[in-house]
Amino acid sequence: MYKPVSDSFFKEPVLELAYRLVGQYIVHESEEGLIVARIVETEAYHGPEDRAAHSFGNRRTKRTEIMFGEPGSVYTYQMHTHTLMNVVAGPVGTPHAVLLRAAEPVVGQELMEERRGGHLKITDWTNGPGKLSKALGVTMRYYGHNWGEEPLFIAEGPGSAEIEAGPRVGIGNSGEAVHYPWRFYEKDNPFVSKYRP
């Protein structure tokens, strides 16, 4: 039923890809069962000239290496105890990426609830990037995987009726980049993460 998008889907400038990803599905064919969530919030990171990006100034480390690779690659990284998922964008050698910030559960809700502890309301399962990865069962082992291939992939979703843009979240030490309106989210969707300026 769910099929990976083609490689061409990812070959767009990072801002356009971040916008286009809202309304698509993340599918994880995990060992425990099928998980599907509809993306409702993303953030674009514009590489070398973006002070909020891990690759600012073309910073090339073991962690950021995949950002310089093929568009559509999975860039996972650890923040505290959480894994965060990104979609690499831009031509090879241009380290741009889109952070998948939040999604709406579609399939596998019991498994998502179990992974998130079983005591939270549904809107708190996936309304942040670390929560989303945990609910989907995505770990660092997917670093370098391709978002167009099973068992973890982007599939075509219904899209979004209305998308809004605003500043990104949690990048307070990044100078003027704090104000760039590079966070895209579905208007009035309860699964969008809580914005705290």
69 within domain boundaries = yes
Query: In angstroms, how far is the first alpha carbon of the chain from the final one?
Result: 39
* Res. 99: pLDDT tops 60: yes
* Res. 181: pLDDT tops 60: yes
**What is the number of structural domains in the chain?**
1
139-180 confidence digits (pLDDT tens): 999 999 999 999 999 999 999 989 999 998 887 777 788 888
Instruction: Identify the domain containing residue 96 by its residue range.
Output: 7-157+182-186
Mean pLDDT of 5-13: 96
103 within domain boundaries = yes
124, with CB counted inside 10 A (0-12, 13-18, 19+), is middle
Percentage helix, strand, coil for the chain under 3-state DSSP, each rounded to 5: 25, 30, 45
Q: How far apart, in whole angstroms, are the C-alpha atoms of residue 45 and residue 53?
A: 5
What is the predicted pLDDT for the residue at 51? Answer: 75
What is the predicted pLDDT for the residue at 69? Answer: 93
70 within domain boundaries = yes
Task: Tell me if 121 sits within 8 A of 188, measured CB to CB.
Answer: no
* Res. 197: pLDDT tops 50: no
14 within domain boundaries = yes
Task: Give this prediction's pTM.
Answer: 0.94
* Res. 85: pLDDT tops 70: yes
What is the predicted pLDDT for the residue at 61? Answer: 81
What is the predicted pLDDT for the residue at 32? Answer: 95
Mean pLDDT of 122-142: 96
The listed range with the strongest mean pLDDT (35-44, 74-83, 114-123, 163-172) is 35-44
Q: What is the largest CA-CA distance in the chain?
A: 44
Residue 10 in tokens: 């990812």
Q: What is the mean pLDDT of the chain?
A: 92
162 within domain boundaries = no
169 within domain boundaries = no
What is the predicted pLDDT for the residue at 196? Answer: 54
Q: CATH number of the domain that 135 lies in?
A: 3.10.300.10
Mean pLDDT of 124-140: 97
* Res. 195: pLDDT tops 70: no
